Structure 1
Amino acid sequence: MAALYEGYTLCGLVPLPNLANSGIQGIETERDGDHVIVTDSFRSITLYKVSDQKPLGSWTVKQDNSLSCPAVYNTQTKEYVAVTDNKVIRIWKEEDILIDKTFKATVLSDIWRIHCVAGGDPVVLFKSGAFRLLDSLLAAPRQTLEEVLDSDETLRWSTSIVAENQQFVIFTTEQKGDNFLYLQKLKPNTLQKYRLERESSGLAPLSFSVACRDQLIHILYLYPNGHVYQSVISAWGPRSEDGSQNSLPLPRNLLLALNVGKDQLNAASALLLDDAHVAIIGVPHPSVGAGKDFLCIWNTNFQTLQAGKEMAGKIFGQLWCFSNKLFIPHGKTLSVIPYECSKSSLASALGKLKQSRTEESRPLLSVPSWSNILHEENIQTSRTLEPRKLRSTRRSQLSPILTVEQVLELVKTASIEEVQKKVEELFSRTETQDLNQSVGQLASGLVSRCLADAAFYPSTTLAQLVNTQSLCHSVCPELVQLALEKKDYFLCQLCLQFFPDIPEYVTCICLKAFTSMQDNDAAKVNLEPDSVSFMETLIAREHGLVGSQNGFNDSSTSENHLVVTMTELGEEKTATPSEQSCPVGLKKAVLLNEILQTAYSDDLLLPHLKDLSSQHVILFLRYLHFLYLKYNQDTFPHSHGYRSPSVEQIMDWVCLLLDAHFTVLVMTSEAKGLLLNLHTYIRSQVKLFSELGKVEGSLQELQQMKIKQDVGQYSIEVIELF
């Protein structure tokens, strides 16, 4: 699940008079992700420390000069590099005050951009499409350059990345309505040209974003019609033998088709955050519509909107990302918005992945003392607001703490006792919020070891991971079936309670396992106390029905009442509705209750229900029959506070089982009496809801009636409901 947190202002902006430009040419990282260089559209370059929200240095060129592209920081020489007037390269250090008195070199051709990426060499890209390493260019600034692009071909966007120990310069061009992408490898010097597929009406991409994963270069681009495409190129792709003249088609995949309304986008941008999440600015929010500017994070695997934040003021279609922070110019402000993207799964995409705590609910660990501030003493942490958990574990901080990666390595070979001990230490010394991203890795590692080694099964540790509520079925799909194989029904119960995305076929596998389980074996299982307490209370209640509840009346004079004696159907024992006992044991009933409360889709569940045998279906129907009778007793505590299924869930499952096995049940003699009784209860429910519908209609009519103003001193009104 992705999240956008509370943002803050880094600096103010001076937009151009026509409001078409934010006044910022670009933002680049400096020594680390907490330091950025902001280059404006005029003459200034400013270094900011993001966490302090303050400038550390600023440099301005003369009034008759202008900055041609964003300044960069050379991590190898600890120097800043900028270009003025398209052809003058300027280099200076942080302690330099006046940029005009520092080193400069003039080249013969116009410069497009200077790129400096971590792990690579600074590269100068010219508007002709040629490139030079900065050091080699400074050694001979007046050298002539080749013409890579055609005379009518224009550069639109560029970047530089390091992939598989190779540095690449990637840039796009436009020529007569066609768009091209160039992949320039530096060592060895090879160039490949790709042709982008034409979009409808000859639209050109608004923005590009690049990321490298697993020897593949992923290019993301957004069009004005809201279409977001991705193209993938191998880092060891084919080499063009005749240079840029031979272009290869660039296949693309439609990731998102965003609704932009009647108007096309003109100031929007899309940025890759990870392999499943994309940040988009300037596209209407799907639930708000046009007229509002939003920053949104989309999950491209499941086509879902994960987070959205309205941005005040005009959006300029600019978006940068460094160290899990998004930098967005809007209105007259440059804002920094932290974000978080968890591992992509179906539960997180649907917003159903339960988190133990949110970012906002974290305790404030450091509270400054006003006395210390006034006396300029060292600020100390307030002990009164320190969490009890941290105080209790402070003594143990002196011992070495294993990281999640070390625990994962330990899982592969260590004993059950050692794994349990180290995981408990990890949970006791680390905030649960910080472990949310690692719970899935730990669970997957433990399950893989269990599947490979039959003697290894740390049930306590697995239950602890599930109890964090940071795990779901799609993250660790083998966990539930492993628990069933090991007959660890307590772990099965926890998974059914906390996993919001259990597939319907897994639910049916659990149902079959629970109904097949012997009551003697089930009695030995330790289950969740609240669910057991509910069934103990239910079974201990007096038998018999009094009055009418939920539409069922036990009166022998009722037209809907039907008493079926099993002797009439070939059975020796007579069983009336008021005399029926629970057909399964206590612990088995608790597990069946978890099945009733599991989320499902009718269309997906029905085919798997048909795989159940008639014996399993009849047993489950008898248990549902028993629950329904108990729920309709006057003595039933409707607000008991325990985890328990609702009447609606009971009736839904009755209908599902009858739909899936009606023919088989009709042909089975032992099910005839049960079916007749169930028919009575379902019919009573239908009548109840019918009567409730009449009451609802009458109440609506009363609400719409006009109130008479002149009633007088005495008045009698008769309102006929039926």
Structure 2
Amino acid sequence: MAAFCEEFTLCTVAGAGGSPGLPQGLLGLEPDGDSVLLTDRGRTVRLYKVSDQKPLGCWSVKEGQTITCPAVYNFETGEFIVVRDNKVLQIWKKDDSNLDKVFKATLSADVYQIHSLPQSEPLVLFKSGAVKRLDALLAAPQQIIENVISNEAIRWSRAFMEAEQPVLTFITEQDGKCFVYVQQCNPYILHKFKHEQGGESSMPVSCAAYLKNKVITLLCLYSNGYVYKFLVPLQQSVCEEEQILLKSLLIRLEVSGSILKGTSIAILDKDHIAITGCLDSSDSNVKECFSIWNIKFQTLQASKELPRGTTGQCWCYEDKLFVTHGKELIVILYKCQMSSLAAAVGKIKDTQSGMKTLSVDWNTLQEDGLMFVQPDQPVPAKDASKRLLKSKRSMGAKAQAETPTVEQLLLSIKDSSQNIIEERLMKFLSNTQMQDFQTSVGHVVSALVKRCKTEQSFYPSSCLVHLIQTQGLSYSMCPDLMAVALEKTDVHLLQICLQKFPDIPEGVTCACLRTFLSIGDDDLTEMNVNLDSVAGYTDIALNSNVGKQSKDLDRYPARSIRMVTPIQNGFSSELPEDGSCDTNLIQKSPVMNTSELCPVGPHKAALLNAILHSAYSETFLLPHLKELSAEQVILFLQYLQYLYVKCSEEATTELPRILSLTINQIMDWICLVLDAHFTVVVMLPEARGLLSKLHKFVRAQVRLYSELNKIEGSLKELQKIQHTKDAGLYSIEVLKL
């Protein structure tokens, strides 16, 4: 699953929105650590620091000269390289201010692109298809450049490192036919491949590639909205015959029945791509947008419109996307989770939970044998008599001391007493080495739940808890288990299910939330609840006056989980004086007591923490959150606010406990609850102080992170300063940032 995060403007783009028909946007963008080197379509090269959004340098060629190749950074020498007027190579350092006075070399042929890689000499790709190392060119700038391609035009190129040696690949086009060249530099081997011709008449408009296991994976975005994949192997010998690359369709970029006409593609990871394109709407208005697609499941993951238009360019470096929007270059942070079916539907489980998952061979469920058959399903007649005799013998006194088989246990569950079932279940669980143990456990749970539904007095809670704690179970293996636990108000079992099951539906999660919020704190103190999730950041000392929960929000019981309020990690729970919210509302509102006391008891806090850790998808969760009552919404928001303050006080922005809650998790839930009950919360007088406090907490946090970014930038600048090794016995150094 992928999503957009923070977005900010880096700089203006010269030439964007210029005259129609002329090239617009940037000529190139190259990374240099936390900086990017921008080359305009004209005379200027600029260096920007991304984290601070500030320029570090700007260089221009003289009037009448034109930069024809994007500038790059030479990692070996720390210099910048650019090509103007197709043949003139210029090299300068960051301290140089006038490009007219830097080193120049005129080459004998036109340059298409310069590729610079860490730990390697830059490679120069000529328009003729020849590839030369920069140092070899500088030794003899006027050397003859051979013509590798004839009547072909280079459309795209990219360089990689393979076994500490550079590899360069480029795509050419001639009369509607595309060719792929792979140039290996040590030894110099050139391979030529031809694109497989399809039935479509469209041509590739953008390409992206990555190298892994000596195979270049090439993704081509066609003008008709199709993305194809080509696999280009790195070969060690020259093949005289022209090889044809077979293509496979990855995804068709379709949104609500309309084809997204892509103009640029970028690879985020092996399962996600970013596309800049335009979508023709029904009213004939062209909508330009930027989107992230999952090519494994062929789904749209995130999208944002670009109302001010775009040049159709995008670049991806680390966790940042660079996109032209109007006359600006914007930076969009993004995140991509592990691409799986669970992640695609928002069901990925937190890796910190330590949950172990065991694969289950579902095909074995179709095999014959009672071990793989539900207890209420018919058994073949020829086997039924044998198993019946076997089960009768196992019921004898001598067999009770032995470990029961799955067949024996399933038959016992049908009509035996709860004590006998629990005794035999404990013996069965002691034999974890049996074949298909987890599958058998799933059948046992299903049999117990079925009897619970048909026989109201039967509820072996301890048996169910032991079975769930064996690990490897999931909600889909026993979907009725949590429904029965909700009916019986078994909060201990529900807490364990929330912690262990990776695939609980959002509706069931919200049902558990409503149940936890509706139970009084006094009633919860008498129930078995695991308090590990609240130990470490609460001071539990129960108030003698804690009793029933009043429906009046002004009379929530004062709980004893107290909160410390000194300034830590740059944060204080006291309200800032320069806030824009109405402080009179805050002083009058009784909800402000949540800054001193937790609004819920430790048992309810532990149950709510299990809810906060559960996996969910926002799309499916929001409708179910709307079923919460107004009282439950306010109480839940008060507890989330308390957690937010506690989490902000910790230096690691995580609550110190076994299952740590992060500030991002807490803020996500606050936003979800506010989205689901926006009108209700705004209209309730009791919620005004709470909303005002949350608003100021967020402002304080924004200021904190802003200052931290400045400190980070200063520290990085200090690291770049070259200190003299021998400073003598006494010296004074002035460090300028």
1:202-601 maps to which residues of 2 (within 5 A)? Answer: 202-236=201-235, 238-241=237-240, 246-259=241-254, 268-282=263-277, 284=279, 291-354=286-349, 436=351, 464-466=353-355, 477=359, 518-520=421-423, 522=425, 582-583=457-458, 585-588=460-463, 600=476
- Contact in 1 for aligned 2:254/2:260 (Cα 8 Å): no
Aligned counterparts of 2:162 and 2:65: Cα–Cα separation in 1: 36
Q: What is the DSSP-based 3-state SS (H/G/I as helix, E as strand, rest coil) of the residue aligned with 1:128?
A: coil
Q: Distance in 1 between matches of 2:165 and 2:136?
A: 18
Cα drift, residue 230 of structure 1? 1.3
Cα offset for 1:227? 1.0
Structure 1 contact 13–22 (Cα < 8 Å) conserved: no
How many Å separate the matches in 1 of 2:293 and 2:277? 13
The secondary structure found in structure 1 opposite 2:354 is helix
In structure 2, C-alpha distance between the alignment counterparts of 1:199 and 1:282, rounded to whole Å = 23
Question: Would the aligned equivalents of 1:523 and 1:586 in 2 still touch at CA under 8 Å?
Answer: no
**Aligned letter for 1:352?**
K
Q: Tell me which residue corresponds to 1:132.
A: 132
**Residue 185 (structure 2) pairs with residue 186 (structure 1):** yes
Cα–Cα, structure 1 residues 639 and 138, in superposed 2: closer, same or farther, change >3 Å?
Answer: closer
**Cα offset for 1:248?**
0.8
**2: CA distance, partners of 1:224 / 1:67:** 28
Q: Does residue 26 of the first structure (1) align with residue 28 of the second (2)?
A: yes
SS of equivalent residue, structure 2 residue 100? helix
Name the residue aligned to 2:706.
none
CA contact 1:269–1:317 (8 Å) conserved in 2: yes
| Cα distance in structure 2, aligned partners of 1:278 and 1:157 | 18
Deviation at 1:140, TM superposition (A): 0.9
Amino acid at match of 1:130: A
Q: Contact (CA 8 Å) 1:231, 1:252: kept in 2 or not? A: yes
Question: Do the aligned partners of 2:2 and 2:334 also contact (CA within 8 Å) in 1?
Answer: yes
Q: Cα deviations across residues 648-707 of structure 1 (Å, max 9, x unaligned)? A: 99xxxxxxxxxxxxxxxxxxxxxxxxxxxxxxxxxxxxxxxxxxxxxxxxxxxxxxxxxx
Q: Give the unaligned 5+ runs of structure 2.
A: 363-404, 414-420, 431-447, 498-503, 509-737
Letter in 2 for 1:465: G
Give the Å deviation of 1:120: 2.3
Cα–Cα, structure 1 residues 201 and 642, in superposed 2: closer, same or farther, change >3 Å?
Answer: closer
Report the residue type matching 1:520 in the other structure. E
Q: CA deviation at 1:240?
A: 2.7
SS of equivalent residue, structure 1 residue 27: strand
Structure 1: tracts of 5 or more residues without a match: 356-435, 440-463, 481-508, 527-538, 540-576, 610-619, 650-722
2:120 maps to 120
Distance in 1 of aligned mates of 2:234 and 2:61? 39
What secondary structure does 1:249 align onto?
Answer: strand
The residue type paired with residue 36 of structure 1 is: V
Equivalent residues of 1:119, 1:162 under 8 A apart: no
Provide the residue aligned with 2:106 in structure 1.
Answer: 106
Q: Select the structure of larger CA radius of gyration.
A: 1
Match of 2:145, SS state, is coil
Determine if contact 1:37/1:45 at 8 Å carries over to the other structure. yes
1:23 to partner: Cα distance: 2.6
Name the SS of the counterpart of 1:6 in structure 2: strand
Q: In the alignment, what sits opposite 2:147?
A: 147
Match for residue 69 of structure 1?
69
How many Å apart are 1:586 and its aligned residue? 2.9
Q: Is the 8 A contact 1:164 1:235 kept in 2?
A: no
Establish whether residue 163 from structure 1 lines up as the match of residue 162 from structure 2: yes
| Shift in Å, 1:175 | 0.7
1:100 Cα deviation from its structure 2 partner: 0.9
Provide Cα deviations, 1:595-630, integer angstroms capped at 9, x if missing partner.
9x9665xxxx9xxx9xxxxxxxxxx99x99x969x9
Note if contact 2:461-2:493 (Cα within 8 Å) is conserved in structure 1: no
Secondary structure of the 1:293 match is strand
- Give the corresponding residue for 2:37: 37
The residue type paired with residue 316 of structure 2 is C
Change (3 A) 1:638 1:153: same
* 1:581/1:148 CA distance change after superposition, 3 Å: closer
In structure 1, C-alpha distance between the alignment counterparts of 2:409 and 2:340, rounded to whole Å: 27
1:510/1:107 CA distance change after superposition, 3 Å: farther
Distance 1:520 1:36, change over 3 A: same
| Cα distance change on mapping 1:64 and 1:224 into 2, 3 Å | same
Conserved 8 A contact 2:453-2:484? no
| Structure 1 residues 342 and 263: CA distance shift in structure 2, 3 A | closer
Q: Does the 8 Å contact 1:522/1:585 carry over to 2?
A: no
Whole-Å separation in 2 of the counterparts to 1:211 and 1:578: 55
Letter in 2 for 1:228: V
How far off is 1:267 after superposition?
A: 5.3
The one-letter code of the counterpart of 2:320 is K
Which amino acid is the alignment partner of residue 192 of structure 2? Answer: K
The superposition leaves residues 264-308 of structure 1 with CA deviations (integer Å, 9 ceiling, x where unpaired) of: 766521212222221222154999998433322222222222232
Instruction: Please state whether the residue corresponding to 1:337 is helix, strand or coil.
Output: strand
- Residue equivalent to 1:5: 5
Q: CA deviation at 1:344?
A: 2.0
Instruction: Give 3-state SS (helix, strand or coil) of 1:268's partner.
Output: strand
Question: 2:124, 2:408 → 1: CA distance?
Answer: 67
Alpha-carbon displacement from aligned partner over 1:416-464 (angstroms, at most 9, x marks no partner): xxxxxxxxxxxxxxxxxxxx5xx5xxxxxxxxxxxxxxxxxxxxxxxx4
The 2-side partners of 1:223 and 1:318 are apart by 15
- 1:579–1:294 distance in 2 versus 1, CA, 3 Å: closer
State how far apart, in whole Å, the 1-side matches of 2:109 and 2:95 are: 30
In the TM superposition, residue 110 of structure 1 has moved relative to its aligned partner by 1.0
Overall identity of the aligned pairs, in %: 36
> Over the residues paired in the alignment, what is the CA RMSD in angstroms?
4.5
In 2, the alpha carbon distance for the partners of 1:233 and 1:303 equals 23
Please state whether the residue corresponding to 1:273 is helix, strand or coil.
strand
- Cα deviation for residue 221 of structure 1 reads 0.9
Partner of 2:195: 196
The alignment of Structure 1 onto Structure 2 pairs a total of residues equal to 427
Contact 1:292 1:310 in 2 (8 A): yes
* Contact 1:259–1:286 (8 Å) recurs in 2: no
Counterpart CA distance in 1 for 2:422 and 2:464 is 10
TM-score, normalised by the number of residues in structure 1: 0.52
The answer as to whether partners of 2:261 and 2:279 remain within 8 angstroms in 1 is no
Listed one character per residue, the Cα deviations across residues 390-409 of structure 1 (whole Å, up to 9, x for unaligned) are: xxxxxxxxxxxxxxxxxxxx
| Secondary structure in 2 matching 1:7 | strand
- Give the Cα–Cα distance (whole angstroms) in 1 for the partners of residues 156 and 7 of structure 2: 28
1:523 and 1:212, CA in 2 relative to 1: closer, same or farther beyond 3 A? same
TM-fit CA distance, 1:55: 0.6
Distance 1:5 1:143, change over 3 A: same
Q: SS of the counterpart of 2:235? A: coil
Tell me if structure 1 keeps the 8 A contact 2:59–2:99: yes
